[in-house]
Structures are given as structure tokens and as C-alpha cells.
Chains A and B, each alone.
Chain A
Amino acid sequence: MNASFDILLQTLLSGVLIGLIYALVAVGLTMIFGVMDIVNFAHGEFLMLGMYASFWGFALWALDPMFTLPFTALMLFGLGSAIYHVVIRRIIRAPMLSQIFTTFGLLILFRGLAQFLWKPDFRTIDHSIVQGKVAFAGLQFGLPQLVAAAGAIVVTGIVWWFLQRTRLGAALEATAADKDAAALMGIDVQRMFALAWGIGAACAGVAGALLSTFFPIFPEVGANFILIAFVTVALGGFGSVAGAFWAGIIVGIVEVLGGFLLGPQYKLALVLALYLIVVLLRPQGLLGRA
């Protein structure tokens, strides 16, 4: 195989681009886990709902996914915190198995609803304002992928800034560290939990909106992304936003470049092998708290 430098570089950068999307999905997941120790199996479904929100905005009112993106984010934020208040609040102290069943049940519910309401057909958004290719220095990228990656950086950055630089973010971090102590300090823990679910769902929803310009939209689409999101979260360290960000990029590179070099049939195996190595050598993940 004549893998020239150009092709290698192109493949590497393609890996980074998809990796940034993985990162954004994982940031939402790690947020929810970090704050309340619940694994959200329905996270891929938030992504799916974000995609459908973009699709319907486009199909019904000809609104571009880039334009509806803030609304998609708000909608998913609302949905996430509503789910917290209606469902998750009741199982916050339940055994882990009940929590798994609950979020898994949400997964089935949303997938079933999407099939029922919008049919199992594949949909695509065929003429967004972001389409076509960008070529520079012999490399070519789809504009949708570039925009999606840039969007993922911006949103992850906002989440990071919010956690590090705002009082509300600090309260959220405090709740994550010790919810009883946080409650004693006068932090409304329920509100913090709802906030975490809102932000988590919004991240997945934005990722869905960014993907919708180049990925087919169908009720099971979340399944394609959720396994990788779990690996990314574990790799970056449970609860660590910065860890999820870097881990997403690493996973993307390993998957795309590793798949290219060693054979695409191994691409997922490589990602999982990397995960295994990290878990064995550094169980808390790259940037996780030990």
C-alpha cells in the first residue's frame, strides 16, 4: 500500500474532526456521571433527538440546522432537566441496577417514540448552508465536518468556561465533589442535578445538530455513537470535561488512522484495546480524579 504523507496527514486530520464530535457527546455524558454517579444509557437518544430537531426545522420551515442550533440546545436542555425532575430524581438513591434499568428504559422509550412518530426511515438534510468541500495544501475536507468540529470545540469550551469561571459552575463542581457538604453550604442540590442533566442533554443535542448536516438521521442513530462515547468517557476519566475532550480526539485518531494503517476491520478493536490499556495502567482515566 502506498500510503503517502498526504494521505496519512489527511487521515489523521479526518480522525481529529470526527474525534471532536465524539468529545462533545462524551462531555455531556461525563457531566451527568460526574455530578451524580448515574450512567445515562439514553445519551445517544439525546443526540438522535437533536438530529431530528434539526431535521424538522429544516423540513417544515426550511430553517438551517446551523440557525436552529441554539434552539435545539435550549430544547434539549429543557428536556434533560425535565427528565431529571420527572424520572431521575426518584432513583437518585436507588441501587445502581435500578438506575441502569431506568436510563435504559428511557433509551427504549425515546427510540420507540421516534420510530412511532417519525417512521424508521432514513432522513438527510440535503442542502444546508454548510455543504461542499474545502481544499487547502492538497488536503480536502467536507465543510460540514469542519463546521461540526469547530462547533464542538466552541461548545466544549463554553461548558469548560462555565464550570471553571462561574459561580454556578463552581456550585456544580462542589455538588459533584460532595453533594451532602454542598447542601450544607446552601447549594440547591436538586437544581444542580437538573442543571447537569440539562447541560448533558444539550451537549448531545448540539452534537446531533452538528452531525445532521452530513450524517443520515434515523431512530437508532444513537447506537452508533454511544459505545464510543462510553469508551471516551472512561478513557478521559469519569466526570472530567477536559479529559473527555482530549480522549475524544484520541479515540477519533486511533479509530480513523489506526483503521487506515492496520485494516478498517480492526478500527473498533483498536479503540477498545486502547481503552483496556488505559484502564489497566491508569484506572481513573487520563485526567480523572483518583
Chain B
Amino acid sequence: MKRLWKLFALGAALSLAIVRPALAQEEIRIGVIYPLTGAAASTGLELKQAIELAADLINNGTRGLNLPLTTTGGLPNLKGAKIKLIFGDHQGNPQTGATEAERLISQEKVVALVCCYFSNVTNTASQVAERNGIPFVNPESSSATLTQRGFKWFFRTTPHDDLFVTNFFEFLKDVEKKKNISVKRIALFNENTLFGTETTKIEERLAGEQKYPIVEKILYPAKSTQLTSEIQRIKAASPDLIMQSSYLGDAILSMKTYKELGVSPDALLANDAGFNDSEFLKTTGKDAEYVLSREVWALDLATRNPLIKQVNDIYFERYKTNFNGNSARTFTGLMTLAEAINRAGSTKPEAIQKALVETDIPGSKLIMPWKGIKFDASGQNTLGNGIIVQVQDGKYVTVWPFDLASKDIIWPMPKWDQRK
């Protein structure tokens, strides 16, 4: 029995020695962990589709597409080696995410990870990658703290929450210049859990630095039966601009209360979440007109960037649905990683990490509204940004950055009694 084992071990060692290098020539094993079952399974499936499309485009050649990697099939610097995606399922659970990362690294021998959508899962799974010295590309998690951990193997392509709020103020500066106005009175109106309070802190800091007076600051419980006291206070402060972070129910209730009490600032700038839920436009109807909100991506960006249309057409043909902010970011994540591996010309984790650090992809080669991809020492892409969309004729259309806009911004928005 013992001999049999020895024989077996010898055989295994031999076959590894022979097969491994040969394998490395033709496939690059990349681990991908998303919520494929559980409550977020539908999102997980979208992300899986997007990353599979990205891998297929790379493996079969990027025929005429201006993507980060030009190839006729596989990675040119690795003799046309193909990408093989090995999937893991974290079910939305940070613990499972870490276990899956461990499994993919130790058993599946992946050379890099793309993961995880949820910020809390990204947090645990990336710790495993860091410990094992495996490059970890995170395309979608937006918690700012993820890149404040001093990790060496962590790279995030998406902008994080702080950057999105920073965009609000860049947007304000741009609007002031374009419309030749100045915003003098800002009211902050945010719900009082982590999402709203963090946003409030950043907004206060940035407004202070850029000398925008905050005339009213309100944190409210999202599960309110009425928002009358809050909105009366906002009305009394008569702001030019309301910056609001809300979930769905309170976003709807606040719109109704604005209308009831006739609160008409020049603009209402919302922070994604409830305002970008498809139910929001359905239920508030015409009353939602002119609301501004931030977004990570919008299909109408295709009017300015032909690449978005080309890639989305391929995606639609395959899956009968369009890209959205999540799937487009996941697609971009794998593209970034593949471009770095090709530049590294090697599948050694150290070489890939070094190449990722040196990444410099121009915005024109992305399906995102970003200026490009370039990581700072913390692993954060510094060239990413969000977009601002506005409800016009019942749809969200891109209005900022101005060079990506499909429609002109409407500012100030008409008062309630002057609307049709």
C-alpha cells in the first residue's frame, strides 16, 4: 500500500513537472468570485456574463474594437495564451468569499483574482489574496476604506464613494462656469445610516474647502412616516441646491412632500441609491422631472463613445440585455487585468503585480466614462469618475461631464407651479 502511494506521488510529481509548463503556455487561470446563488444571484449572473464576454473577446481576438488589448486571439506576449476563468460563489457572505479565494488560490492555482461586487466580501477575500501574494482586481466595490488598508496586491478600477461625492463639487464648478451662476446656499439632506452619515461628512468637508456655505444639514431616519418637519426646515433655509442621499421609500416620500410644500430649489442633486431605482421613476412619474443623480454608467454614453455601442451590441446579441453600471465595470476589470498580464509577459504573480502598478490605459479604450486607468500607491484607480444624470422626459440622461453628455442640463429647474 505504501509503495503504491509512493508510486502515485512520483507519478503526480512527474505529470505536474511535465504538464504544468505546457499548460502555462496555453491558458492563464484567473479566479472570479461573485454571488452566483443567494439574494444577489441575479446581479452575480450579470457580472458572470460580462466577464465571460470579456474573456471571449480576448481569447478570440478583439476584431476592430479599440479595447485595451489588441489581439488576434489570446495574449500576444504569451504566445497567444488563452484566459481561463475559474468561478467561485460567495453567496454574498464575507466568510464564504474568503474560503472561495483560498480554494481558488491553493487548489485551482489561479494567478490572479477578480472579485467580489459586495464591499464587505471584497474586504475578506482580498485579505486572503494579500497573504498569498496573488494580484486582486476589484472592479465594482465602492467602500472608500478598501484602498486605505495599505495592501500591495489590491487594485481597484472603480471610483469609490468619496470620489463620487468629490464629483458633485467638480460638477458644481463646471455648472457655475457654464451657466454663469454661483451656488450660494446648499442644504444637505441625508438619511442617517452609514451611507448617509459618511456622505454628509465628506460633503461638509468638501463644501468647507471650496467655500460653499451649507445653510441646512439634516440627517433623518429612512423609515419615517412623514418628512414634513425635515422639508419645512429645508424650505425655511431656502437653499439653491439640495444634496440628498435616500433609499427608495424615503426618496418617493420626499418628492411628494417637496411638491406638497412647494419647495423649489434650483437643483436637487441625489446620491444614487433610491433615486436610481427603476421603481423611483415609475412611482413618482412627472414629479421626478429635472432631478439630478450620480451614476457610474449609462447607455446613452454610447452617443459620444462608439466603443460603448460596439461592445454593448455584442453583449446584447448574446444576452438580450444591455450593459449596466455593474456589468460594464466588471468587463473593464478583466480587460485591465488581461492588459497587465500581457504586458508582464508572464503569469508569475510578482510580474503581474508589477505590470498592474505600471498600468496606464487611456479613457478612449474603455467602455466607462473615465479618463483612464492608472493606479496610485494604494491600488486605487485615480482616473475614474462618475457621471451626473438628469430626469428629462421620464428618463435619466447623461448631462455631465459635459463632453460625454447626451443632453443639455436643465438648471434651474422650473418651480412647481410653473410646470405643465
Of chain B, the residue at the smallest CB distance from A268 is: B221
Interface flag for B65 (CB, 8 Å): no
* Contact assessment for A122 and B260 in the assembled complex, using a CB-CB cutoff below 8 Å: no
Known contacts being A216-B283, A264-B220, is A142 close to B229, with CB within 8 Å?
no
A126 to B285, CA, bound (A): 8
Encoded as 1 (CB less than 8 Å from any A CB) or 0, chain B from 278 to 289 comes to: 010001110000
* Contact assessment for A122 and B232 in the assembled complex, using a CB-CB cutoff below 8 Å: no
A107 to B224, CA, bound (A): 19
Interface flag for B253 (CB, 8 Å): yes
A4 to B237, CA, bound (A): 11
Interface flag for A257 (CB, 8 Å): yes
Chain A interface extent, by class: 35 or more
Interface flag for A11 (CB, 8 Å): yes
User: Which of A30-38, A67-75, A221-229, A239-247 is the interface stretch?
Assistant: A221-229
* Contact assessment for B218 and A1 in the assembled complex, using a CB-CB cutoff below 8 Å: no
Interface flag for B261 (CB, 8 Å): yes
Interface flag for B325 (CB, 8 Å): no
Contacts of B226 in A (CB 8 A): 14, 18, 255-256
* Contact assessment for B228 and A14 in the assembled complex, using a CB-CB cutoff below 8 Å: yes
Contacts of B236 in A (CB 8 A): 1-4, 7
Of chain A, the residue at the smallest CB distance from B261 is: A140
* Contact assessment for B229 and A265 in the assembled complex, using a CB-CB cutoff below 8 Å: no
Of chain B, the residue at the smallest CB distance from A214 is: B256
B298 to chain A, nearest CB (A): 22
Q: Which of B227, B230, B283 contacts A126 (CB 8 A)?
A: B283
* Contact assessment for B249 and A122 in the assembled complex, using a CB-CB cutoff below 8 Å: yes
Contacts of A255 in B (CB 8 A): 226, 229
Interface flag for B148 (CB, 8 Å): no
A260 to B237, CA, bound (A): 12
Known contacts being A142-B256, A145-B260, is A15 close to B228, with CB within 8 Å?
yes
Interface flag for B53 (CB, 8 Å): no
A140 to B259, CA, bound (A): 10
* Contact assessment for B230 and A264 in the assembled complex, using a CB-CB cutoff below 8 Å: yes
Contacts of A268 in B (CB 8 A): 221
Of chain A, the residue at the smallest CB distance from B229 is: A259
* Contact assessment for A218 and B249 in the assembled complex, using a CB-CB cutoff below 8 Å: yes
Known contacts being A122-B252, A218-B249, is A267 close to B229, with CB within 8 Å?
yes
Interface flag for A282 (CB, 8 Å): no
* Contact assessment for A140 and B283 in the assembled complex, using a CB-CB cutoff below 8 Å: no
* Contact assessment for A216 and B252 in the assembled complex, using a CB-CB cutoff below 8 Å: yes
Interface flag for B219 (CB, 8 Å): yes
A145 to chain B, nearest CB (A): 7
A27 to B249, CA, bound (A): 26
Contacts of A126 in B (CB 8 A): 283, 285
Interface flag for B248 (CB, 8 Å): yes
Encoded as 1 (CB less than 8 Å from any B CB) or 0, chain A from 1 to 31 comes to: 1111001001100110010001000000000
* Contact assessment for B229 and A260 in the assembled complex, using a CB-CB cutoff below 8 Å: yes
Contacts of A124 in B (CB 8 A): 252, 283-284
B126 to chain A, nearest CB (A): 31
Interface flag for B235 (CB, 8 Å): yes
Interface flag for B11 (CB, 8 Å): no
Of chain A, the residue at the smallest CB distance from B278 is: A121
Known contacts being A122-B249, A142-B256, is A1 close to B225, with CB within 8 Å?
no
Of chain A, the residue at the smallest CB distance from B220 is: A264
A144 to chain B, nearest CB (A): 9
Encoded as 1 (CB less than 8 Å from any B CB) or 0, chain A from 140 to 169 comes to: 111001000000000000000000000000
Encoded as 1 (CB less than 8 Å from any A CB) or 0, chain B from 200 to 225 comes to: 00000000000000000011110111
- Which of B224, B226, B284 has the most chain A CB atoms inside 10 A of its CB? B226
Q: Which of A122, A140, A215, A264 contacts B233 (CB 8 A)?
A: A264
Interface flag for B38 (CB, 8 Å): no
* Contact assessment for A224 and B224 in the assembled complex, using a CB-CB cutoff below 8 Å: yes
* Contact assessment for A11 and B232 in the assembled complex, using a CB-CB cutoff below 8 Å: yes
Interface flag for A191 (CB, 8 Å): no
Known contacts being A1-B237, A7-B236, A140-B262, is A122 close to B248, with CB within 8 Å?
yes
B368-408 interface (Cβ within 8 A of A): none
* Contact assessment for B221 and A11 in the assembled complex, using a CB-CB cutoff below 8 Å: no
Q: Which of A2, A223, A256, A263 contacts B223 (CB 8 A)?
A: A223
A223 to B221, CA, bound (A): 13
* Contact assessment for B235 and A7 in the assembled complex, using a CB-CB cutoff below 8 Å: yes
Interface flag for B347 (CB, 8 Å): no
Interface flag for A123 (CB, 8 Å): yes
Contacts of B261 in A (CB 8 A): 10, 140
B11-54 interface (Cβ within 8 A of A): none
Interface flag for A89 (CB, 8 Å): no
Contacts of A228 in B (CB 8 A): 225
A216 to B218, CA, bound (A): 22
Residue ranges of B at the interface with A (Cβ–Cβ < 8 Å) = 192, 218-221, 223-230, 232-233, 235-237, 248-249, 252-253, 256, 259-262, 279, 283-285
11 cross-chain CB contacts under 8 A: A3-B236, A121-B279, A126-B283, A133-B260, A142-B256, A216-B249, A225-B225, A228-B225, A259-B229, A259-B230, A265-B219
A-B CB proximity, top 6 nearest: A259-B229, A142-B260, A124-B283, A264-B230, A260-B229, A14-B228
- Given A14-B228, A215-B225, 20 more A-B residue pairs with CB atoms under 8 Å apart are A7-B232, A7-B235, A11-B229, A122-B248, A122-B279, A126-B285, A133-B260, A140-B261, A216-B248, A221-B249, A224-B223, A255-B226, A255-B229, A256-B228, A256-B232, A257-B229, A259-B229, A263-B218, A264-B230, A265-B218
Residue ranges of A at the interface with B (Cβ–Cβ < 8 Å) = 1-4, 7, 10-11, 14-15, 18, 22, 121-124, 126, 133, 140-142, 145, 214-216, 218, 221, 223-225, 228, 255-260, 263-265, 267-268
